[in-house]
Amino acid sequence: MRTILAIIGIGWIVFWVGWLIAAFTAKSSQGGWGGLGGGLRVGLVIVIFVLVRVNIGSGHRAIASPLLGGIGLAVWAAGLALAVWARIYIGRNWGMPMTKREDPDLVTTGPYRLIRHPIYTGIILGVIGTALATSLYGLFAAAVMFAYFAYSARSEERFLAERFPNTFPPYKARTKMLIPFLV
């Protein structure tokens, strides 16, 4: 069980360090929203949560089930893989939640074929997987993160609807915001 927690903890650190490095390849922002602050704060909270869970001594652990730990690890890995895949597809158009990019492109391929915000979905899945492997109390953090990302997605979609009045509405009609086939 401790090995699963170490993999998840180290994995989150690598993920967020990579995310920070990738931020420097993004297009310039239009001002208003954006910046590295919000997304990095979210990442920092996740990393601290995982490290605290990993470093709790051999005493009480909220979850000691190897099966649930394995399921959590699989969900975590799938979530981070989705987020990275989406980040690769969105390329230089990527930004922290609610960032307005100068001269953006509407990306509708790869994971964006089914989900308008697959990076958010991937991070939420990563947090759910972390919670399943460490402590079900982490599901509360996933719910809060879901609400934050849903709010961010709605804000971003207003900008996209203004910027792409002919192409965004049909794209929005055929895709889901965060959960394929549901939401």
Q: Where are the domains of the chain?
A: 2-174
Q: Which pLDDT score is estimated for 46?
A: 60
Q: Which pLDDT score is estimated for 148?
A: 87
Q: Which pLDDT score is estimated for 35?
A: 46
Q: Which own/partner pairs from 17-26 qualify as long-range (CB within 8 Å, at least 24 positions apart)?
A: 18/84, 19/43, 19/87, 22/87, 22/94, 23/94, 23/96, 25/92, 26/92, 26/93, 26/94, 26/95, 26/99, 26/101
pTM, two decimal places: 0.81
Considering the segment(s) 2-174 as one domain, its CATH architecture is Up-down Bundle (1.20)
Average pLDDT by stretches of 10, the chain with 183 residues: 85 87 70 49 59 49 77 96 93 71 83 94 94 84 88 90 94 93 76
Q: Which pLDDT score is estimated for 63?
A: 64
Rounded distance, CA 170 to CA 161, Å?
10
